[in-house]
Amino acid sequence: MTEFRRGNLIYQNPLTSAENIRDFRLEGDARITFDSGRMRMQNAYPRDREKGLHANFVFWCPREFPDNIAVSWDFLPMTDAGLAMIWVAARGRNGEDIFDPALAKRDGNYPQYNRSDINALHTSYFRRNPKEITFRTCNLRKSYGFHLVCQGGDPLPDVKYCQEPCRVEVIKAGPHLRFSMNDVVLFHWIDDGEQYGPVLHDGKIGFRQMAGLVAEYANLQVHEVSVA
């Protein structure tokens, strides 16, 4: 089994106040508050079905991160609805910064992120789909495209049983992507750089939520990692 060594802390954000997210970029419409001492995010249109995929949003950290990192944060769902997702190594398909004005405009509609002009790896780790109530999964996809490249079981219980935040971690190191919750590894995917296009490296990270989910986030950290 591949092992990873955690190195220097290169970014830290407590996510406890509006000042902490002053430079973050919101694509779509959301209500973001800090009444509990953690960043609580929810969709601005939880009951507006006419908006469809346009009712969802992505919230980008402004920092550009290198490859070989471990991204971790506290996550506490407040509703059993919608979806939570983390994006890593996000960059334009020609190497542009994700915020380059030459890229197509994005407003939370999912096809703008997987079938437009950006590349990224994205894991959906809290999926409350009424059609999937017997076996829930965490899904890793690679874009450009809608490539489902890896899955693992979702260990998070229903909200009424969530007593405290879960520590979520994504390790992105060259072709490796390892995803874990509370130090339990749910999957580890190694990109061959061929089947789904070249291996992705540096770029932005961001949080995505689908309508219906209310969730809290805190203690975002990014460490350097090396492959043992």
Q: Is 78 within 8 Å of 216 (Cβ atoms)? A: yes
Q: Provide the residue-wise pLDDT of the chain in tens; the chain has 228 residues.
A: 799 999 999 999 999 999 999 999 999 999 999 999 999 999 987 555 545 556 799 999 999 999 999 999 999 999 999 899 999 999 999 999 999 999 999 999 999 999 999 999 999 999 887 666 668 899 999 999 999 999 999 999 999 999 899 999 999 999 999 999 999 999 999 999 999 999 999 999 999 999 889 999 999 999 999 998
Look at residues 114, 40, 139, 123 and name the one whose alpha carbon lies nearest to residue 88: 123
- Give CA–CA dist 192/53, Å, rounded: 31
- At the second CATH level, the architecture of 4-227 is Sandwich (2.60)
- Give CA–CA dist 183/37, Å, rounded: 24
Q: How crowded is residue 108: how many other Cβ atoms within 10 Å of its Cβ?
A: 24
Q: Across the beta sheet with 147-153, what order do the strands follow?
A: 25-27, 57-60, 204-210, 82-92, 118-128, 137-143, 147-153
Q: Summarize the chain as % helix, strand, coil (round to 5).
A: 10, 50, 40
Domain ranges of the chain: 4-227
